[in-house]
Amino acid sequence: MALQIVDEEGAQALSMRALAERLGSGTATLYRHFGNRAELVAQVVDHMFGLVELDDQELASASWQQSLRVVAHAMFHALGRHGNAARLLAEQIPVGPHAMALRERCVAVLLKAGFDTSLATHAYVTLARYVCGLAIQLNHENDAGRRRHEVSVAALRSVEPAQFPAVHSIAEALPVSVEEVFPFGLDLILSGLGAFRDGG
């Protein structure tokens, strides 16, 4: 129910009072389960990570790049379905059981692939933030968002070639959707991580 509130009304709408009203109960009842809003947010965030569906058999037989690619796509689609709720990730580092299990899986892949602990840490954080950031944007590719985007694209296409020649040269290739740019950026990150690990 808490996730439904966020999906429908936005992250800012989630409060103990709002959830109590949806459930038809008093806030005092909720405080028996959650000490404060931060605890409620933590539960919602961890629930989202529990929606990430992975095939352990597929991951076990894959390279480290493919394993992380599969996990990243699964996270992107799970969080993208709840982009408003993904914004809650900005409030705290997710440390619930589902988030921890996913983090453990990714970091273990990196360590097994020969990344030292410092590089594995930076690699995981970079990947997780990339996924979460684009998942939030994915949620806003709605009608209003598309209209705003179209206005921006039209402005880019109308730039003077003499003043902004580089921008003018790519204007016709726009817009690029979040769905399209996600795998491109992910491949860049994974390729870069491989180069860092190998000292390139």
What CATH number is attached to the domain comprising 34?
A: 1.10.357.10
Residue 29 belongs to a domain: yes
Query: Angle at the Cα of 5 (from 19 to 96), degrees rounded to 5?
Result: 80
Give the Cβ contact number of residue 164 at 10 Å: 12
Check residue 116 and report its DSSP letter: -
pLDDT in tens, 94-129: 889 999 999 999 999 999 999 999 999 999 999 999
Would residue 155 count as lying in a domain? no
Least confident stretch, 1-15, 29-43, 61-75, 175-189: 1-15
Do the domain assignments include residue 14?
yes
| Mean pLDDT on 12-34 | 77
In the predicted structure, residue 139 carries a pLDDT above the cut 50 = yes
Instruction: Give the range among 58-67, 78-87, 165-174 with minimum mean pLDDT.
Output: 78-87
User: What would you report as the CA-atom Rg of the chain, rounded to the nearest whole angstrom?
Assistant: 20
Average model confidence (pLDDT) across the chain: 85
142 or 168: which leads in pLDDT? 168
Range of the domain at 117: 2-141+177-197
pTM summary value: 0.81
d(CA 155, CA 149): 10
pLDDT of residue 180: 92
Q: Residue 143's pLDDT is what?
A: 47
Residue 67 lies in a domain: yes
The domain tally of the chain equals 1
Phi/psi at 54 (5° precision): -130, 150
Give, as one character, the DSSP assignment of residue 34.
-
Q: Is residue 47 part of a domain?
A: yes
With bands split at pLDDT 50, 70 and 90, how would you rate the model's confidence at 84? confident
Residue 53 lies in a domain: yes
Residue 134 lies in a domain: yes
Q: Is residue 28 part of a domain?
A: yes
